[in-house]
Structure 1
C-alpha cells in the first residue's frame, strides 16, 4: 500500500512537472518581451558585436607630423613609421597648433612630434625623444600609434649601433644589434585582434544576461496577471516545489541548449574567429554553466514585481561583469572586494573557462577549478530557487485562504 502510494505520488509529480513545462513554454512563446530576450537577442547581439569588430585590428591610422628637426635622420624615422601597416602620415604640419586643429576636427588620430635637437642629440650620442599624442577615444588608435613608433625607433636604434660599431661582417652586426634573437608570436590570437580577444567573453555573458532578463520579465508578467501579485498561481499542478522548479528550468534549458550551440559554435565559425575547442569538452563545460545561469536567474526573479523592473536592475550590469571577470581587465588589478563579488556570478567562471577551452584548446582537467565551481553554483542556486519558490507557494496558499475566509465572513454578515 505504501509502495503504491509512493508510486502514485511520483507519477502525479511527473505529470505536473511536464504540465508546468508546457505552460511555461506556452507563456514564453506568447510573451513577445520574453521571446525578444530568449530568441532575438541571442540571435542578433552576437552578430552585431562580431560584425563591429570583424576587422580585428585597425590599419593605416591617419597621423600628423610636426618635424622641427627637418634632417635626414628625422625623415628616415618618419619613413620607417609610415612604412608599417599601422600608421599613415597624412599631413606634415608647421607647428603643434595646426596639428591640434587636425586632431580636433577628426582628420587625424595622432600627432608625432620630433624636437629640433633630434639629429644633434643622436650625433652627440645623447638620448633623444620623440613625443606622440593620440586621440584616446579609441584604444586601438593608441595601440597603432605606439606600435608603429616603437618599431621605428627599434629599427633606427639598430642602424645607429651598426654605424658606430665598426664591425666588418654582417654576422658581427647581427650579434652586436641583437645578441638574443627573438620572434614575436601572438599565442592563441594569431591576428592580435580585438574580436578574438573580446567576443568569446561577450558570448558567454549574453547567455547569463538574457536569462536574467527573460526569466525576470516572465516573473513580472506572472505577478501582474495574478490578482494577489503572487509568483505562483493557485492550481493543483503547482503544489510541489520540485515540480515547479524542474518544470520551469527544463523549458529554459531546452531553449538555451539551442541558443548556446548557435552562439558558441556557429557565430565564431561565420566570422572565422579562433575556435579550437573539442566538442565534447565544450558541451560538458557549458552544461553546468547554463544550469547555474538558469537557477541564478530564477532566484533573482523573486525580486521582480513588474515587467519593467528587470530592465532597470540587470541591463546595466553587463559592462561591470565583463570587467570583474578578469578578461577585459587584469584579474590581479581587481580589488579584493569586487573579486569576491564576482564569485557570485556564473559568468565569471564561465568566461574564464570558455576562453581557455575555446581559444587555448584546454581540456576539462585544465579548467577543473572553474568546472567544479560552476557545479557548486548550480547546486547552491538550485537550493535557493527551491527555498524562494517554496516561500511563494506558502504565500499563494495564505492569500487564497485569507480570501476564502473573507468571502465566508461576508456571507455570514449578509445572512444575519
Structure 2
C-alpha cells in the first residue's frame, strides 16, 4: 500500500514537472518579450559586438601637428610617425590654438607638438622633448598615438647615437645602441586585438543578462496574469516546490543549450576569434555556468512584480559586471568590497574561466577555483530558488483559503 502511494506521488510529481516545463516553453514562444530576450538578443548582440570590433586594432588615427622648429630633423620625425600604420597626420597647424580647435571638433584625436629648440638641442647633445596631446575619450586612440611616437623617438635616438659613435662596425653599433636584446611576444593575443580581448567576456555576460531579463519578464507576466498576483498560480500541477523549480529550469536549459552553443562556439568561429578550448572541457565548464545563471535568475525573479521592472533593475548592471569581473580592469586593482560583491554573480567566475579555457587553452584543473565556484553557486542558487518558490506557493495557498472563507461567510 505504501509502495503504491509512493509510486503515485512520484508519477504525479513527474507529470507536474513535465507539465510546468511544457507550459514554460509555450510561454517562451508565445510571449514576444521573453522570446526577444531568449532568442533575438542572444543572436543579435554577439554579432553587433563582433562587427564593431572586427578590425581588432585601430589604425590610421588622425592627428594634427604643431611644428615650431621646422627643421630637417623635425620633418623627419613627423614623416616617420606618419609612415606608421597607427597614425595619419591630417593637418599641420600654425599654433596650438588651431590644433585645439581641430581636436575639439573631433577632426583629429591627438596633437603632436615639436618645440622650437628641437633640432638645436639635438645638435648640442641635449635631451629634447616632443609633447603629445591626446583625446582620452578613446583609449585606443591614445594607445596608437603614444606607441607610434615612442617607437619613432627610440628609432631616431638609435640613429643619432650611431652617428656620434663615428667609424664603427654594424655589430658595434648594434651592441652600443641595444646592449640588451629583447623581443616582445603577446601571449594568447598575438595582434593585441581588442575583439580577442573583450568579446569572450561579453559573450559570457550576454548569457547571464539575457536569462535575468527573460526570466524576470516571464515572472512579471505570471504575476500580472495570476489572480493573487503571486509568482506561482494556485493550480494542482504547481503544488510541489521541486517540480516547479526543476520544470522551469529544464525549460530554460533546453533553450540555452542551443543559445550557448551558438554564442560560445559559432560566433567566435564566424569572426575568426581565438578558440583554444577542447570541446569536452568547454562543455563541462558551460553546464555549471548556465545552471548557476538559471537558478540565479529564478531567485532574482521574486523582485519582479511588473514586466517592465526587469529592464530597469538588470540592464544597467551589464557594464559594472564587466568591470568587476577582472577582465576589462585588472583584478588586483579592484577594491576588496567590490571583489566580494562580484562573487554574487555567476558572470564573474564564468568570464574568468571561459577566457582561460577559450583564449589560453586552460584545462579544468587549471581553472578549478572558478569551476568549483560555479558549482557552489549552482547549489546555493538552487536552494534559494526553492525557498523563493516555496514561499510563493504558501502565499498563494493562504490567499486562496482566505478568499474561500470570505466567500463562505457571504453565502451564510
TM-score (norm 2): 0.98
Deviation at 1:166, TM superposition (A): 3.4
Deviation at 1:358, TM superposition (A): 0.6
Matching residue of 2:22: 22
What do the CA deviations read for 1:394-413 (whole angstroms, capped 9, x no partner)? 0010011001000000001x
Secondary structure of the residue aligned to 2:62 is: strand
- Spell out the pairing of 1:12-161 with structure 2 (5 A cutoff): 12-161=12-161
Distance 2:8 2:172 in 1: 90
Distance 2:168 2:141 in 1: 41
Distance 1:213 1:277 in 2: 28
Secondary structure of the residue aligned to 2:132 is: strand
Secondary structure of the residue aligned to 2:277 is: coil
Secondary structure of the residue aligned to 1:91 is: strand
Instruction: Confirm whether residue 237 of structure 1 aligns to residue 237 of structure 2.
Output: yes
Distance 1:335 1:133 in 2: 31
Deviation at 1:178, TM superposition (A): 1.0
Distance 1:200 1:36 in 2: 22
Distance 1:262 1:165 in 2: 61
123-132 or 18-27, which moves further after superposition? 123-132
Secondary structure of the residue aligned to 1:58 is: coil
Distance 1:266 1:89 in 2: 39
May I ask how many residue pairs the two structures share in their alignment? 412
Distance 2:167 2:268 in 1: 51
Instruction: Confirm whether residue 191 of structure 1 aligns to residue 224 of structure 2.
Output: no
Deviation at 1:167, TM superposition (A): 5.4
Deviation at 1:192, TM superposition (A): 1.0
Matching residue of 1:396: 396
133-142 or 312-321, which moves further after superposition? 133-142
Secondary structure of the residue aligned to 2:141 is: helix
Distance 2:47 2:30 in 1: 25
Secondary structure of the residue aligned to 2:66 is: strand
Distance 2:288 2:167 in 1: 64
Distance 1:99 1:312 in 2: 42
Distance 1:324 1:381 in 2: 20
- 8 Å CA contact 1:167, 1:173 repeated in 2: no
Distance 2:239 2:7 in 1: 17
Distance 2:402 2:331 in 1: 53
- 8 Å CA contact 1:63, 1:109 repeated in 2: yes
Secondary structure of the residue aligned to 1:389 is: helix
Secondary structure of the residue aligned to 1:89 is: strand
- 8 Å CA contact 1:20, 1:244 repeated in 2: yes
Matching residue of 1:10: 10
Matching residue of 1:323: 323
Distance 1:9 1:166 in 2: 96
- Spell out the pairing of 1:360-375 with structure 2 (5 A cutoff): 360-375=360-375
Matching residue of 1:221: 221
Matching residue of 2:201: 201
Deviation at 1:106, TM superposition (A): 2.2
- Spell out the pairing of 1:180-329 with structure 2 (5 A cutoff): 180-329=180-329
Gaps of 5+ in 2: none
Distance 2:13 2:226 in 1: 23
Distance 1:113 1:264 in 2: 46
Secondary structure of the residue aligned to 1:70 is: coil
Deviation at 1:137, TM superposition (A): 2.4
Secondary structure of the residue aligned to 2:64 is: strand
Secondary structure of the residue aligned to 1:113 is: strand
What do the CA deviations read for 1:169-211 (whole angstroms, capped 9, x no partner)? 1001111111121222221112211111111100100000000
TM-score (norm 1): 0.97
What do the CA deviations read for 1:261-300 (whole angstroms, capped 9, x no partner)? 0011111111111111111111100100000000000000
Gaps of 5+ in 1: none
Matching residue of 1:385: 385
Distance 2:291 2:12 in 1: 25
- 8 Å CA contact 1:60, 1:87 repeated in 2: yes
Distance 1:125 1:5 in 2: 98
Deviation at 1:125, TM superposition (A): 2.4
Distance 2:84 2:223 in 1: 61
Deviation at 1:83, TM superposition (A): 1.5
